Structure 1
Amino acid sequence: MERTSITVPKPPKRNVIRIKIISMGDAGCGKSCLIKRYCEEKFVSKYISTIGVDYGVKSVVVSNQQVKANFWDLAGGPEYFDVRNEFYRDAQGAILVFDVSNRASFEALEGWVQEAYKHGAKDMQVAVCGNKCDSKSREVKPKEAQAWANKNGYLYFETSANSGENVQTCFNDLFTAVVRNLPQR
């Protein structure tokens, strides 16, 4: 008996878009916790400061397009400036995070934006996160933060890495803005 081999055609490869997303903001404002909440849907209550840069990838679908979001979680401490400044180049999106219970972290946002653009970030989409919005002691009002974000042309979200409030919406809206802003292929 003669054997016939059957070849199963491979499914067509979907064109996957890769996007580079960075996190910016003072140490301790919750950048890593927001990313972990989004990617793993969990909250880590024990604070462990990022040393230098952390990296992660998450596959998502944006407007029926497969997207791999590459996260570059940049440490917020001033001692990591020399490491951080190498990662701004070619960033297409950023979460710019401050702690609503820490006015200094809000006042530092402009400095973070200037640092990013000085070191190679161009035309990136930015989502400002007023994180820890579930905090009992609040030093920055939502209206003030929203006005600052609007003035700069950024998205604004009141987020909580602890409860998950607005985390999915923030990242989904940021990815949509990044993909919309990509050059047409």
Structure 2
Amino acid sequence: MDELGVDLLTMAGHKFHAPKGVGALFFRDGLRLEPFIHGAGHESGRRAGTESAMLTAALGVAASLSADLGPMEHVQALRDRFWAALKDAFGDQVVLNGHPERRLPNTLNVAFVGRVGAEILAAMPEVAASTGSACHSGRVELSPVLEAMGVATEVGMGAIRFSLGRTTTADEIDHVVTRLRRVLS
């Protein structure tokens, strides 16, 4: 962590196949943190509450397994195949959010021009993905992340973020493309 210059680093367990609801916090030696939940002095006084031993153990196992799974070329190849299939199916009606090469191998963030991402996903309840917008009081707003990336509001409203994993298959990718064709036709 010193090499990266990291002071604080959080990890959400579900991002590397641990159960939801568990994570980890790394902080640089000498960094003093104020408690974010007051009460008992767990975690050297940083928070109150009892930790879940089972979730903590599961996080450790998931981290160990993730470290041993090797490079992500397979996942990246699926992501690229997914993007090519979307471009083939929707042409100029789908755009890539983010850099075409310098991006995570497991994430594909696209926008369907003139559409609302939340409405697309609502029509495909079997597809686990997320939108680039949030709904507040019945109004859809552009994600601050997409806004910071310079994505235009009219494009960003149609954003959907697809996350792939080591267990994602080509058949699953094909299924999503087929479902999108039906929903957007």
Task: Bin the TM-score by the shorter chain.
Answer: under 0.3
Larger strand proportion of the pair: 1
TM-score w.r.t. the length of structure 2 is 0.25
Of structures 1 and 2, the one scoring higher in RCO (CA 8 A, sep 6+) is 1
TM-score (norm 1): 0.25
